[in-house]
Amino acid sequence: MSSLWYFNGIPMAADDLLHHFVPYGRRLLITGCHGLLGRKLHALLAPANIVAGVDLAPQSALSGDRFTYYSLDLTQREPVAAVVEEFHPSFILNTAAMTDVDGCEMDKDRCWRLNVLAVENLIRAAKKSNAHLIHLSSDYVFDGRHPPYRETDPTAPLGFYGKSKLAGENALRGAGLPHTIVRTQVLYGVAPDIRSNFVSFVLDKLRQPGELRIVDDQRGTPTLADDLAEGIGRLIQLQREGIYHISGRDSVSRWEFAREIARQFGEDPERILPLKTADLKQNSPRPADSSFSLEKIRRDLSFLPRGIREGLQEYRLQREQLQTTHGGETR
Ligand SMILES: NC(=O)c1ccc[n+]([C@@H]2O[C@H](COP(=O)([O-])OP(=O)(O)OC[C@H]3O[C@@H](n4cnc5c(N)ncnc54)[C@H](OP(=O)(O)O)[C@@H]3O)[C@@H](O)[C@H]2O)c1
């Protein structure tokens, strides 16, 4: 039986508290606030916290009574230090990254600057402000040969993106400041003005006539971005440090995932045919199966994110809502 906690004098089971309460009254700095995860974190945390967002665009459409936006390039050391000193966050949530896996292989310098040097800039600034740094990393730090991956398993990245994400983790591990490394994978979700993700890519393709070929030899545990944001909320609330794997609970190949997307959106799954990774000729190698073990988040955070069916149902609902409020096409 779980122990009782007290909230405003009311006894509550720890599970209830975690289920119903997100962090409140904290100063939170979200980098990459216009990206998919950044937007979900803003939506979850801005109502009850003092939130600042950082991204490259000169202006932000994000709102909130106590929300401040800073247009900032994280690869620039001095401006990063100045913003962190001015806002003085208790937590920095670093979601900004170069996430284009093949792009990282082709432009290693740009990839390194954002995925490693920007992290070092944030570390320096966080140390001065005594902030806790929560940094987003990836399943691509693994080679995909020994799933399901636990937080303690040895890393062995195959491509430059994975190497850069591991270097970002290592910079943080040796830095001597309170920190949490959150590895995630195959993020999907609905938000205005974000780049394409696997689900929106498959839906775009299904809108065109004909068959669609998707690899059946890359496997993982796809993650609804809303669930990842909730997991990060729990990490903040419980002030957890160390490494955490947060992903959806179902291990599926990209082909199986695409077929479920088709089913959930009333399309014919038979239009989706299997393909081998070798035939794709991608610039970067990818792990064959980087599925996560979720034992640690289940134990430490009382949290088990949704599987693909429930995740896609939520995606579909949010997509319809966004199309109503924003009109036209949405990701
Ligand atoms: N997406 C996935 O499937 C996946 C899988 C595993 C791990 N992750 C990790 O999860 C995190 C969040 O991913 P995401 O998909 O939410 O990312 P995203 O949508 O690509 O968002 C990243 C945001 O950071 C901004 N940014 C880029 N360079 C910047 C700079 N120099 N200074 C300030 N902001 C900058 C981007 O702006 P622009 O759009 O203008 O460039 C974008 O708004 C990342 O750390 C990623 O490595 C993601």
- Taking only the tens place, the pLDDT of each residue in 242-295 is 999 999 999 999 999 999 999 999 999 999 999 999 999 899 999 999 999 999
Alpha-carbon span 215 to 256, nearest angstrom: 9
Mutate to test the pocket of ligand 1, among 184, 188, 284 (most ligand atoms within 8 A of CB): 184
Q: Write down the pTM of the prediction.
A: 0.94
Catalytic residue among 70, 140, 149, 161: 161
Helix or strand (DSSP H, E) at 234 = helix 225-238
Alpha-carbon span 136 to 229, nearest angstrom: 11
The CATH topology of domain 4-194+222-250+286-307 is: Rossmann fold (3.40.50)
Q: What is the pLDDT of residues 5-23, one digit of tens each?
A: 665 555 666 665 555 567 8
Helix or strand (DSSP H, E) at 70 = strand 67-71
Ligand 1 centre distance from Cα of residue 32 (Å): 6
Alpha-carbon span 49 to 67, nearest angstrom: 9
* Tokens describing residue 156: 């062995």
pLDDT at 1: 45
Kindly compute the dihedral angle of the four CA atoms of residues 80, 81, 82, 83, in this order, to the nearest 10 degrees.
50
Beta bridge partners of 93: 30, 134
**Mean pLDDT, rounded, of the chain:** 93
CA angle 259, 199, 207 (to 5 degrees): 75
Closest ligand 1 atom, CA of 140?
6
Alpha-carbon span 253 to 227, nearest angstrom: 20
Residue 140 known to be catalytic? no
Mutate to test the pocket of ligand 1, among 36, 40, 56, 245 (most ligand atoms within 8 A of CB): 56
Lowest mean pLDDT among 1-5, 81-85, 315-319: 1-5
Domain extents for the chain? 4-194+222-250+286-307
What secondary structure letter does DSSP report for 151? T
Q: Which of 226, 169, 217, 168 minimizes the C-alpha distance to 197?
A: 226
CB-based contact 255:272 (threshold 8 Å): yes
For residue 164, give every residue at least 6 positions away whose Cβ sits within 8 Å of its Cβ, in sequence order, or none: 98, 104, 111, 112, 115, 116
Alpha-carbon span 228 to 123, nearest angstrom: 22
Alpha-carbon span 241 to 181, nearest angstrom: 8
What secondary structure letter does DSSP report for 113? I
* Tokens describing residue 223: 């993650």
Specify the residue for token string 């959150």: 182
Ligand 1 centre distance from Cα of residue 4 (Å): 38
Ligand 1 centre distance from Cα of residue 95 (Å): 6
Q: What is the pLDDT of residues 202-227, one digit of tens each?
A: 999 999 999 999 999 999 999 999 99
Alpha-carbon span 263 to 257, nearest angstrom: 10
CB-based contact 189:224 (threshold 8 Å): yes
